[in-house]
Amino acid sequence: MAETKSIFLTLSGRTNAGKSTLLNALIGEKIASVSSKPQTTRTRITGILTQDNTQYVFIDTPGLHKPKNKLSGYMLKTAESSATDSDAVLYVIDCTKKLHEQDEI
- Predicted model pTM: 0.77
Cα gap 46→14, rounded to integer Å = 18
7 contacts: CB under 8 Å, gap ≥ 6: 54, 55, 56, 57, 87, 88
- Write the class of the CATH domain 5-103: alpha beta
pLDDT at 105 over 60: no
Cα gap 27→45, rounded to integer Å = 12
Least confident of 6-15, 30-39, 81-90: 30-39
Q: Tell me the pLDDT of the chain averaged across its residues.
A: 82
SS3 state at 42? coil
> Looking at the DSSP assignment, which residues form a beta bridge with residue 7?
56
pLDDT in tens, 28-53: 999 887 877 766 666 778 899 999 99
pLDDT band per the 50, 70, 90 thresholds, residue 96: confident
The DSSP line for 52-84 is TTEEEEEEE-PPB----SHHHHHHHHHHHHHHH
pLDDT band per the 50, 70, 90 thresholds, residue 99: confident
Q: Where are the domains of the chain?
A: 5-103
